[in-house]
Structure 1
Amino acid sequence: MSEIEAVWRRIEAWYELHGTSHLLNSGATDQAIAEAEKQLGVSFPAELQESLRRHDGSNVMGWASGELLSLERIASERRIWMELLQDGTFDDNAKHNADSEAVQPGWWNAAWIPLDADGGGNGAVIDMAPGPEGTAGQIIDMDHEVGPNGPQYQSLTEYLEAVADGLEAERFVVYDGAVVSIDEMEEGS
């Protein structure tokens, strides 16, 4: 069993236990993945391909960080970021993270693949063009107000393991059909 399959089994067990398996989308086909790669002009890492074959994202608010992006939503999020990059919106931030050896400087990079979204313009991305001390496939956090930082995780497997750990440690609950962190619930009360 692969690491991706093992961690997805843990995540699926939590969703099943809470009667929310419907919040995880069915898997994508190899053809759909290949078409998305072609459309986006990027090659997905093997971990992402395997994960997408298992679950093509989640429903909005069906994931620990908001939404695990489907192929369609990856394309949509990436298109927005790429338009901003290409029209020069980020030119003043070209040296952001210049002191990082793990992440290339700048506000957005064409080799980043959106992974999840919180609904407020922030989310994790897979970095396929890391800095000299980074690792291809590392997960960085992209905050639309403060820019990218990280890496948060060295791989998609590590990211999914952190999600599984949080679910199993009961740091998340299902509230009104959404997966919500206990911290958010306490802040809202």
Structure 2
Amino acid sequence: MSEISAIWERIEAWHEAEGQTGNLNPGASAGAIAQAEKDMGLTFPPELRESLLRHDGSADGGWPTGELLSLERIADERKVWMDLLGDGTFDGNASHNAGSEALQAGWWNPAWIPLDSDGGGNGAVIDLHPGPQGTVGQVIDMDHEVGPSGPKYASLSAYLEAMLERLAEEQS
């Protein structure tokens, strides 16, 4: 069993024990994932593909950070950021994180995939184009007021593990 599947089994068990199975969406189809990759011009990391096949996001408010994004919501969130990047909104922030070894400089990178959302313009993103000391697939924090920071988690598996820990804390 893969690491992603093992973590999802534990997350699903928590939701079942709490009577909250409706918070997790059914999985996306392989075709829908492939179409989303094509539409965004990105290749999703295998961990993300596997996760989306299992659960295509969560209900709004059904995730410790607010909402685990579905393919549709990933596309929506990414479009907002890409439109802002394209219209020059972030031009004044081109040197943001310039001293970071883990992140590329700038306020938004086209090789980032939104992962979750707090409903206020903030969320975790998967970084497919890290700085020289970063790793492809690291999960960083994107705050609409202070910009990107991190990495917060080394991988999607580490992110999901942290979300499981937050769920367990809520239970106690």
Q: TM-score normalized by structure 1?
A: 0.90
**Structure 1 partner of 2:100:** 100
Q: Match for residue 152 of structure 2?
A: 152
Structure 2 counterpart of 1:128, one-letter code: L
- Structure 2 gaps of 5+ residues are none
SS at structure 2 position matched to 1:152: strand
Residue number in structure 2 paired with 1:187: none
Inter-partner Cα distance in structure 2 for 1:3 and 1:113 = 20
Instruction: For residue 165 of structure 1, report the CA deviation from its aligned partner.
Output: 1.6
The count of aligned residue pairs is 172
What are the within-5 Å matches in structure 2 for residues 129-140 of structure 1? 129-140=129-140
Match of 1:12 in 2: 12
**SS of residue in 1 equivalent to 2:95:** coil
Counterpart CA distance in 2 for 1:23 and 1:167 is 13
- Local SS of the residue matching 1:134: coil
Amino acid at match of 1:67: E
Summarize deviations over 1:131-181 as a string: whole Å, max 9, x none: 00000000000000000000000000000001112212x2x26xxxxxxxx
- The aligned runs of 1:148-187 (5 Å cut-off) are 148-168=148-168, 170=169, 172=170
State the Cα RMSD in Å: 1.0
Counterpart of 2:114, as a letter, is P
Output the CA distance in 2 between the equivalents of 1:164 and 1:118.
17
Q: Which amino acid aligns with 2:83?
A: E
2-structure distance, mates of 1:59, 1:40: 23
3-state DSSP class of the match of 1:149? strand
Q: Which runs of 4+ in 1 moved over 6 A?
A: none
State the alpha-carbon separation in 2 of the partners of residues 42 and 126 from structure 1.
12
State the match for 1:22 in structure 2.
22
Distance in 2 (CA, whole Å) between partners of 1:28 and 1:16 is: 20
CA distance in 2, matches of 1:78, 1:167: 26
Equivalent position of 1:86 in the other structure: 86
Greater shift, 159-168 or 40-49, is seen at: 159-168
The aligned amino acid for 1:20 is Q
Paired with 1:61 and 1:91, the residues of 2 have a C-alpha distance of 33
Post-superposition offset of 1:62: 0.5
- CA offsets, 1:20-78, max 9 Å, x none? 00010000010000000011111100000000000000000100000000000000000
**DSSP-derived class of the 1:145 partner:** coil
Partner of 1:59: 59
Structure 2 match to 1:178: none
- Runs of at least 5 residues in structure 1 that lack an aligned partner in the other structure: 174-181, 183-189
Is the counterpart of residue 119 in structure 1 residue 116 in structure 2?
A: no
Is 1:72 aligned with 2:42? Answer: no
